Structure 1
Amino acid sequence: MAEVTVKELAQVVGTPVERLLQQMREAGLSQTTPEQAVSDDEKQTLLTFLKSAHGDSGSEPRKITLKRKTVSTLKVAGSKTVNVEVRKKRTYVKREPADLEAERQRELEELRAAEEARQKAAEAEAQRAAEEAAKKAAEQSAKAAEPVAAEEPAPAPVAAEPAAPIAPVVKPVPSPAEQHKKKEESRRKAREDEEERGRKRAGGHGKDKGRHAPRINDEDDASRRRGGGGKLKANKKRNQHGFEKPTGPLVREVVIGETITVAELAQKMSVKAAEVIKYMFKNGNMVTINQVLDQDTATILAEDMGHKVKQMKESALEDSLVESMAHEGEEMSRAPVVTVMGHVDHGKTSLLDYIRRAKVASGEAGGITQHIGAYHVETDRGMVTFLDTPGHAAFTAMRARGAKATDIVILVVAADDGVMPQTEEAVAHAKAAGVPVVVAVNKIDKEDADPDRIKNDLAARDVIPEEWGGDTMFVHVSAKVGTGVEELLEAVLLQAEVLELKAQPSAPGRGVVVESRLDKGRGPVATVLVQNGTLRQGDIVLAGVNYGRVRAMLDENGKTIKEAGPSIPVEILGLDGTPDAGDELTVVADEKKAREIALFRQGKFREIKLARQQSAKLENMFENMGQDEKKTLNVVLKADVRGSLEALQASLTELGNDEVQVKIVSGGVGGITETDANLALASNAVVFGFNVRADAAARKIIENEGLDLRYYSVIYEIIDDVKKALGGMLGSDVREQILGVAEVRDVFRSPKFGAIAGCMVIEGTVYRNRPIRVLREDVVIYEGELESLRRFKDDVAEVRNGMECGIGVKNYNDVRSGDRIEVFERVQVQRSL
């Protein structure tokens, strides 16, 4: 790599310039200003100094720090979402053998001390028990000797000799063996008495009959069996049963995830769901059998019912997948992934077409790109992978995915058009993804091209050119004649060298799904960009909620290949479905593991979908009260690729207002089938096909039932047609239009018509067969219709502005001089969105 300045080196390593200069001074280097150059040898010297300063003397690392960042989306009130980012950091330190030995010795000393303390405590306890036993024996002996000493008469005193002492009579205390024998004897007698009572009850009501009933012992029973007494044997077998009453409650280990339903929890505890519901009702929680419980509630419930609980994280399978993807290997340089972004019709695909030497833009419907295309190009300085994103406003999500999967963004701006809304959106996506931008000012060969205006507009949006002290390269190109294309590629590769992109080709393949579609002859086909490792034919892959074995791999030209390394886009066959664009694709060790994780993800997706559909909660009741009053346009939508389907669903769902709305009844990838036609018939929906067609069975149903089926190939055409359909569902408004105003100058009396107003038309034209209003001091005092309209003695149909006339108002005679008569009509106006 060529020499760089201190400032450029600080930007590459991501550290402030002042700190880098201080470190260079400490390392003994001569650089003191940011503009001084740094050679490769000086970089190595600085690196060696920093390693020694941080305790790295060239041996294996003593400390390793693992960082993990997860981003989840939290839905708040309405349709707003909040991104929640959780960062975890853990440091592992490798200790010295001497430290480990010292710690082991310390633990042994602690264990030895604990054992000695335990032995001393046991000896003290035994001594205390022996003393208590001796004390109790002495007390019992004293108690036994007291009655005997009281009953003996006192001997008569003898004068010559003193009285001899009388030995006390002690009552013997039975030994523990004798006490146990007596207890067993009393228990045996109780059992015999119980058996005797049972025989009396079984023998009949008579007292003698129960007393003298013969008892059959084991020997008699055996002799009867040998002698052919099969009836007794049959009766004995019939009266026996195999159920044994458990000696205690069964304790099970219940595995509980982050969420679990009442039915699943009852099944794991081997109890009826009604018992769980009853327990919850007693604790004040009204639940149903399909109610979802959180982990804490389910844990308390299971423990209270006497079971052991093992809490399991929902991310256990995902964590195991991450651990299996860990690989240590040699890192090598990889080709940059470049995304071409910009406004629609600014020449993105035409520029890429000139680079690839293929006519792609001419094959696109309407001349605009409908989905992401991935290609790799071999240049003199290395390979470059290009992603061409759509520029239409509906493809916002696809542009965001393109920015996330890329290393460098080429922003194409037409020199004759300037910065447009999708241009600003592309800049925002690139900044959010944290990738460098190279601006390609296209169409400079046109007469009205103004490249300086492009620089001014982008500089106002924080995209500063290098000539003005910024870090963004501007290249003037012409996709039509090829001007500046080589300079653009050189700028991209130079930026890639600064980034020092690395990958491990020996690792298992990992990438991102760029696009997916359903091919009639080959099944699900996914376009994948390999980001790390090597993807080989025959690998077991997992992509979102889908998995499968790679049966075949094709490059962008349709040629079969056996493997694909980092930064190579390929089409793979063999998945069990069409994954969503943007899903991560990973190679899994075995098919069992891939199926397990895919089924787990499908279950989570189903739970999230069901949770969204449960809109009957109390807090959402008032929001949903007016939903049934809306007029709904039901749509069954089928598209050729997953990205176009997602963009269409988002665009159509956003159409509508408080009175009309669009509901996507079903959306999928592939041709229109008989199932789609039956669904449209049942839900009274229209069928839209975007770059797909209906099969014979579907066409038959559509023709017989008269369903509305429409084919489209350009996205804005389908959006315009849906807008017109929604406008027709809105109906029309009735508006009043004032045709003319006449001012009353005098009032005449007619025996036939009553009061006749002599008027002068001061605005517009007064017509005979139109409704009128009489205004007095700009206040409406009467609304009706004209009875007669005359000029002199002739009846006329209309009187124009500036002419005099006589007006007779039907059923109204209170017309006065100075009043105004306003003639109007009601017009229906078609509403639109």
Structure 2
Amino acid sequence: MTVQTVKILSELVNTPVEKLLAQMKDAGLPHKSENQEVSDVEKQTLLNFLKRQHGEAGSGSERITLQRKKTSTLSRSDGGKVVNVAVKKKRTYVKRTDTDEELQKQQEFLQRQAEEQARLAAEEQARIDAERKLEAEKAAKAQAEAEEQARKEAAEAAAKEAAAREAVVKSEQNDTEQNVSGIGAAEPVEAPKQPKTAKKTSQAAAMDSKKPNAAPKSKKSANRQDSEKPRGRHPESKRSRVNINGDEEFGRRGKLGRKGKKPLQKQEHGFQKPTAPIIHEVALPESITVAELAEKMSIKAAEVIKVLFKMGAMATINQTIDRDTATLVVEEMGHTVKYIDENAVENDMIDAIDYDGEAIKRAPVVTVMGHVDHGKTSLLDYIRTTRVAAGESGGITQHIGAYHVETPHGMVSFLDTPGHAAFTSMRARGAQATDIVILVCAADDGVMPQTIEAIQHARAANVPMVVAITKVDKEGADIDRVKNELVAQEVVPEEWGGDVQFVGVSAKSGEGIEELLEAVLLQAEVLELTAVPSAPAKGVVVEARLDRGRGSVATLLVQNGTLRKGDIVLAGLQMGRVRALLDERGEAIDAAGPSIPVEILGLDGTPGAGEEFIVVADERKAREVANFRQGKYREIRFARQHSAKLENLFSEMGKDEVRTLNVVLKADVRGSLEALIKSLTDLNTDEVRVNVVSSGVGGITETDATLALASDAVIFGFNVRADSSAKQFIERESIDLRYYSVIYNIIDDVKSALSGMLSPDLREDIKGTAEVRDIFRSPKFGLIAGCMVIEGTVYRSKQIRVLRDDVVIYEGELESLRRFKDAVNEVSKGMECGIGVKNYTDVKVGDKIEVFETVEVARTL
């Protein structure tokens, strides 16, 4: 091993010997000449020292040097040559080692101790200074009092001296040769011994008395004289001074203030820091924002966010947290929790509404129900003397129509419900919102499925019925048959001992219309219907739609109180201020009383048909309740979807993928939309289903088309149309768009589409059967069965089965089919043939060869 000296090491590291020796000396090594040997340990020591000196504690990766170059230009003011200026900056960042961090912590600790000691020393020095200042103030005050006493004594002495001088002047008044000298006259008079200040004052007064026009001192001179004396400073203010009486006065820059002005006093605040922590009882609803939670605990929101962060939850000041999380935060901060009812805000708002007042008789609300095409709308047309059915698509009613009419017997409000099976939910809402049900049944058609359904709805709502047997003037009308069929449904007429009034009517001739109205009003008299018109309005939402020009339009039936323009309405999940009131003819009105159906404008959305509405006084509370209901609805819907996914997770395993038809559905009114969604979802099976990707009320927009493109959906428009931008997008992207005005057509088309998506059924069709009569062996084809076709036709291209004792023992295909020596494609019944079965040689005499094919049969829903 070669021995290295300082000189050899300097040559290896390319460093002068003198510099290397200086570095080794700084590193604490004893080397002083270039011939001394350097061991490996000493080299390592030198290396570590150099690394520490250059900011390196370990590997080179702990030291990073960044260089940045910034180029700018300077132009001369005289328009001369532009000079480029380059500024280079170099910064080196060194990663701290554990030793450096420990040293830094020790230094920080020592620094904190020094700061604490300095703070304590400063407080002690401040206390000492305050005591010294107080003592100095007391001494200054005592000195000021002494000086004031001296001034008083000097003033008294000056007064006595002035009196003496005046007496001497009067006694020597006739002596003209002798100069008037107050001093000489005053010398014989022996005055009391005075202090130095008083002596000076008396001499000044004597000099003033020598003047012929001597006069008393003015206030200004007195002030000037006072200003020459030492001033006393008030300890609380730099602008204070002591007056001649020793009282404190305040002025501006040495000038005295107004006489009698009270000195400023130190004002103390009324807040006292609590000596013990305050524990709050925090009332928590189902959900609360971070800001509201902080306000309930009387702390800053940042403190709540800090606690949530420690718990592993990232939240902002406006973020909503659930009750469990809020409970943990409150308990963590030392407060107590009190749970409140989640519907407390809603219940308090509803309970605060006063519905008391004078109750008066109100008009009955009558719902007309029955089967399709039994004459419900035509009956109302005759009563209203209008033609509503002419405007309905396909001659049927697809919305709930609300009308109120004045009859000779009084006012009656009618609700006309659709009769089609798809509108079951709409009819159910109609029955729940009504007082009396008119059950319409055609005399020539009898009781139908929707008639029975209407009876069930009326009984479920506990609403009395009046049966109107329509089309009594039509050929084939049989009123007795209708009565018998209704009795089978436990609807017994009065003349048969029941409690239901039966009236035969005709919408064409008007026969029985007056008797029907009398029966309705008689039933209303029995019910004794009353309402309070002076109370805030409440009722139900009959229908709602989205109008392009007017926004959300909701049809409301007022059941109690009076609805006025400008009222704040809360309807289900929506709220708003009533901007306009319209009757069923579209005319603007100012108010609507009990049992009056009206259309209102101003809601912020389309409420669901059948939702209850109320009029509230506070718009802020109404918006709060609406937001709460919307959040609760979203939570319930999400919980249902999540539960359905969990429940169906294992049941769907192992099953084939369900084929789905995605649909974007837009309708004109909310009731039709709900009925369409229910009808389409009822078509779902285990193999195919309808997925309503999006649904809404109003025209088809470009957003709907974009959603349909993204989800590969079909757009259905029910009594609505697409706008211009949506049409261009749909044509450009070739999206399937279909318009409908009758609900039957949508259901039929969707049913056909779903039927096409069903996998077909496979069915076997037996074409022919051949019986084996003998067995031959061919050198080319092997075993050949000589057969006789006993049924149908044997085909070469079809599949076969080999049956032995009517039991299938093999299933395959033919290898050859020959008639004598010729290969043929088929052999008919009663003919002999030779059959070679592919890959099977165990054919025996008496076996049967069955030829069949698999046929796909299309399925329908």
Give the TM interval when normalised to the shorter protein: 0.5 to 0.7
String of CA shifts for 1:47-69, please: whole Å, max 9, x gaps.
Answer: xxxxxxxxxxxxxxxxxxxxxxx
* Structure-1 residue corresponding to 2:468: 440
Q: Partners in 1 of 2:538 and 2:529 — Cα distance?
A: 16
* Structure-1 residue corresponding to 2:836: 808
* Structure-1 residue corresponding to 2:499: 471
Select which of 312, 319, 340 maps to 2:347.
Answer: 319
> What does residue range 698-777 of structure 1 map to in structure 2 within 5 Å?
698-750=726-778, 752-777=780-805
Q: Is the 8 A contact 1:758 1:804 kept in 2?
A: yes
Distance 1:477 1:789, change over 3 A: farther
Q: Partners in 1 of 2:572 and 2:821 — Cα distance?
A: 88
* Structure-2 residue corresponding to 1:394: 422
Q: Is the 8 A contact 1:261 1:293 kept in 2?
A: no
Q: Is the 8 A contact 1:262 1:292 kept in 2?
A: no
* Structure-2 residue corresponding to 1:5: none
Structure 1 gaps, min length 5: 1-196, 227-243, 282-288
1:569 lines up with 2:597 in the alignment: yes
1:217 lines up with 2:245 in the alignment: no
The alpha-carbon deviation at position 518 of structure 1 amounts to 0.9
Query: Which amino acid is 2:793 matched to?
Result: T
Query: Which amino acid is 1:529 matched to?
Result: L
Q: Partners in 2 of 1:639 and 1:618 — Cα distance?
A: 32
Distance 1:650 1:278, change over 3 A: farther
The alpha-carbon deviation at position 313 of structure 1 amounts to 2.1
> What does residue range 296-307 of structure 1 map to in structure 2 within 5 Å?
302=330, 305-307=333-335
The alpha-carbon deviation at position 800 of structure 1 amounts to 3.5
Query: Which amino acid is 1:635 matched to?
Result: V
Higher alpha-carbon deviation: 736-745 or 623-632: 623-632
> What does residue range 602-681 of structure 1 map to in structure 2 within 5 Å?
602-615=630-643, 621-622=649-650, 629-681=657-709
Query: Which amino acid is 2:680 matched to?
Result: L
1:544 lines up with 2:572 in the alignment: yes
> What does residue range 173-212 of structure 1 map to in structure 2 within 5 Å?
none
Q: Partners in 2 of 1:631 and 1:772 — Cα distance?
A: 34
* Structure-1 residue corresponding to 2:404: 376
Query: Which amino acid is 1:466 matched to?
Result: E
Query: Which amino acid is 1:524 matched to?
Result: S
Q: Is the 8 A contact 1:525 1:571 kept in 2?
A: yes
> For 2:606, what is the secondary structure of its paired residue?
coil
1:779 lines up with 2:807 in the alignment: yes
Q: Is the 8 A contact 1:399 1:426 kept in 2?
A: yes
String of CA shifts for 1:79-99, please: whole Å, max 9, x gaps.
Answer: xxxxxxxxxxxxxxxxxxxxx
1:519 lines up with 2:547 in the alignment: yes
String of CA shifts for 1:420-478, please: whole Å, max 9, x gaps.
Answer: 22222211110011111112222334444333332232222222222322111222233
String of CA shifts for 1:762-811, please: whole Å, max 9, x gaps.
Answer: 33322232111111112222222234445566654433445444433344
1:429 lines up with 2:341 in the alignment: no
Distance 1:815 1:602, change over 3 A: closer
Query: Which amino acid is 2:129 matched to?
Result: N
Query: Which amino acid is 1:400 matched to?
Result: A
The alpha-carbon deviation at position 555 of structure 1 amounts to 1.4
Query: Which amino acid is 1:434 matched to?
Result: N
Aligned sequence identity (%): 70
> For 2:705, what is the secondary structure of its paired residue?
helix
Over the aligned positions, Cα root-mean-square deviation in angstroms equals: 3.7
Select which of 369, 377, 383 maps to 1:355.
Answer: 383
Q: Is the 8 A contact 1:266 1:276 kept in 2?
A: no
The alpha-carbon deviation at position 586 of structure 1 amounts to 1.8
> For 2:840, what is the secondary structure of its paired residue?
coil
Normalising by structure 2, report the TM-score: 0.64
Distance 1:274 1:465, change over 3 A: farther
The alpha-carbon deviation at position 398 of structure 1 amounts to 0.7
Distance 1:740 1:272, change over 3 A: farther
Q: Is the 8 A contact 1:302 1:308 kept in 2?
A: yes
Distance 1:695 1:450, change over 3 A: same
Q: Partners in 1 of 2:424 and 2:309 — Cα distance?
A: 47
The alpha-carbon deviation at position 671 of structure 1 amounts to 0.6
> For 2:757, what is the secondary structure of its paired residue?
helix
Q: Partners in 1 of 2:126 and 2:533 — Cα distance?
A: 91
String of CA shifts for 1:325-345, please: whole Å, max 9, x gaps.
Answer: 323322222211111111222
| Bigger Rg over Cα | 2
Query: Which amino acid is 1:482 matched to?
Result: G
String of CA shifts for 1:610-648, please: whole Å, max 9, x gaps.
Answer: 433444997675357679943322222111001111111
1:484 lines up with 2:512 in the alignment: yes
Q: Is the 8 A contact 2:287 2:321 kept in 1?
A: no
* Structure-2 residue corresponding to 1:343: 371
Q: Partners in 1 of 2:658 and 2:292 — Cα distance?
A: 38
* Structure-2 residue corresponding to 1:829: 857
* Structure-2 residue corresponding to 1:554: 582
* Structure-2 residue corresponding to 1:529: 557
Q: Is the 8 A contact 2:564 2:590 kept in 1?
A: yes
> For 2:586, what is the secondary structure of its paired residue?
coil
String of CA shifts for 1:490-535, please: whole Å, max 9, x gaps.
Answer: 2222212221211222222222110011111111111111111222
Distance 1:214 1:325, change over 3 A: closer
Distance 1:800 1:492, change over 3 A: farther
Query: Which amino acid is 2:840 matched to?
Result: Y
> For 2:397, what is the secondary structure of its paired residue?
coil
> For 1:478, what is the secondary structure of its paired residue?
coil
Q: Partners in 1 of 2:654 and 2:363 — Cα distance?
A: 55
Q: Is the 8 A contact 1:263 1:290 kept in 2?
A: no
Q: Is the 8 A contact 2:771 2:787 kept in 1?
A: yes
Distance 1:400 1:739, change over 3 A: same
Q: Is the 8 A contact 2:304 2:329 kept in 1?
A: no
Q: Partners in 2 of 1:260 and 1:616 — Cα distance?
A: 28
Select which of 580, 600, 607 maps to 2:608.
Answer: 580
Q: Partners in 2 of 1:620 and 1:792 — Cα distance?
A: 62
Query: Which amino acid is 1:778 matched to?
Result: D
Distance 1:747 1:245, change over 3 A: farther
Query: Which amino acid is 1:633 matched to?
Result: L
Q: Partners in 2 of 1:669 and 1:382 — Cα distance?
A: 36
Structure 2 gaps, min length 5: 1-112, 137-232, 234-271, 314-318
> What does residue range 151-162 of structure 1 map to in structure 2 within 5 Å?
none
1:694 lines up with 2:606 in the alignment: no
> For 1:495, what is the secondary structure of its paired residue?
helix
Normalising by structure 1, report the TM-score: 0.66
* Structure-2 residue corresponding to 1:497: 525
Higher alpha-carbon deviation: 625-634 or 397-406: 625-634
